[in-house]
Amino acid sequence: MEKANQKIIFSNSYSPRTGHNFAAQVFKIFLDLEVFNREKSETHLSRILDLYFTHVKRYIYIDSDKKIMNHLFIDGLRERILSKTNNPYILIKDTSFDGVDYLPELFPDDIHILLIRDPKDVLTSGFKAMRFKRKSIKDFIKKLGMKTGLFQFYFSWRVTHQVIDKLPNLENRILIRYEDLVMKNDDTLQYLKKLFNCDKALDVIKSEIDEISVINTSFFKEETGGKHIWDEKEKTTKFNPVNRKSKNIVYQKAIEWGTRDLRKKLGYV
């Protein structure tokens, strides 16, 4: 295939556990898609670009030197990426919004998706995998805070405002909600059909989403502590990835309160 006819799909989410691996599998239903840099890994391109342009601006003052640096690292970047595949589409995904505003500027003819998930569910999922193994005063305090819900609130509040500080302008951007992919929302699937020029019937797409073998712990028992996180396992029928609930109402409310500002920003409350 001619490289001019190929497209890069950039899919950035604001945090791990936003469902970006599941979303990648859904996107593959719509088109002939290859995931850049291995199926199960992120490519931190937007973060690298953020660091690059920040440092070029900060440390290189002469315009001719900036042009040389851009020639070495930026010029021809799209062609170098596309040279890695003969597929018509290649997906680059990451779990950060750092530097995402550079992507449409450098890749204006490609597809740029921002994947979002309810921050309450993201943090609820994250806390299930959190472990404190070291016997230190700091970890003792964290464990004590976990029992009272204070740590959940503080951690959720801190993550919320870290994301808000780096949140890109969401207007005129392609926003895909993880929940809509899981629930097979008709409007979202029809939008993706049009975006990806897919002629599959909606019922076929929905049945293929049901058949996805999820490649992380999002749909089955999560107490992995980071071990075997990429193992494929059978989905459980009991687990609901949408509107996550905690067994402890104090924990649940602490996470809800801690993430409230970001939930407002993303339209979840």
Domains of the chain: 3-265 (3.40.50)
Tell me: the pLDDT tens digits for 56-85? 777 887 888 888 888 888 999 999 999 888
Residue % of the chain over a pLDDT of 70: 78
For residue 241, give the amino acid letter: P
Measured CA to CA, the distance from residue 85 to residue 3 in angstroms comes to 9
* Helix ranges (DSSP H) in the chain: 20-30, 45-59, 63-73, 77-82, 102-106, 119-128, 137-148, 150-166, 178-182, 186-195, 202-210, 249-258, 260-265
pLDDT average, residue stretch 178-183: 94
Portion of the chain with pLDDT greater than 90, in percent: 50
Residue among 205, 210, 167 at smallest CA distance from 189: 205
CA distance 223 to 127: 10
Q: For the residues 196-216, what does the mean pLDDT come to?
A: 86
User: Which pLDDT tens digit goes with each residue over 127-159?
Assistant: 776 655 666 666 666 666 667 788 889 999 999
Which pLDDT score is estimated for 232? 52
Q: How many Å from the N-terminal Cα to the C-terminal Cα in the chain?
A: 45
Task: Round to whole Å and give the CA distance between 111 and 54.
Answer: 24
**Chain segment 18-51, per-residue pLDDT in tens:** 988 899 999 999 998 888 866 666 788 999 999 9
158, burial (CB in 10 Å: exposed 0-12, middle 13-18, buried 19+):
exposed
Is the pLDDT assigned to residue 236 strictly greater than 60?
A: no
Distance (Å, rounded) from C-alpha 261 to C-alpha 27? 29
Q: What SS3 class is residue 164?
A: helix
